[in-house]
């Protein structure tokens, strides 16, 4: 498999811990081995994943949030 790459994504539209969990689940569905931290207050997600950041951002957007690769 490909190597893990750093992921930095701005995630707008999260309002509670449920949103944080939802975003985390979306990412883990794309890459079960992803190691990411979602920060509600900072509106961002940081970590490492084998999946392209752009792909993760698209999945987060599809889940109803506003994601942008940083």
Contacts with Cu ion by CB under 5 A lie at: 15-16, 18-19
Nearer CB in complex with Cu ion: 40/48: 40
Nearer CB in complex with Cu ion: 10/52: 10
Give the whole-angstrom CA distance, residue 35 versus residue 20: 14
Provide the minimum distance between the beta carbon of 54 and Cu ion in the complex, in angstroms, as a whole number. 24
Give the whole-angstrom CA distance, residue 58 versus residue 69: 10
Give the whole-angstrom CA distance, residue 60 versus residue 37: 14
What 8-state DSSP symbol labels residue 3? P
Provide the minimum distance between the beta carbon of 21 and Cu ion in the complex, in angstroms, as a whole number. 8
Provide the minimum distance between the beta carbon of 41 and Cu ion in the complex, in angstroms, as a whole number. 13
């Amino acid at each position: 498999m490909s190597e893990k790459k750093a992921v930095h994504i701005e995630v707008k539209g999260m309002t509670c811990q449920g949103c944080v969990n939802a975003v985390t689940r979306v990412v883990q569905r794309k890459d079960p081995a992803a190691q990411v931290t979602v920060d509600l207050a900072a509106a961002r997600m940081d970590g490492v994943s084998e999946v392209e950041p752009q792909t993760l951002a698209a999945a987060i957007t599809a889940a109803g949030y506003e994601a942008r690769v940083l």
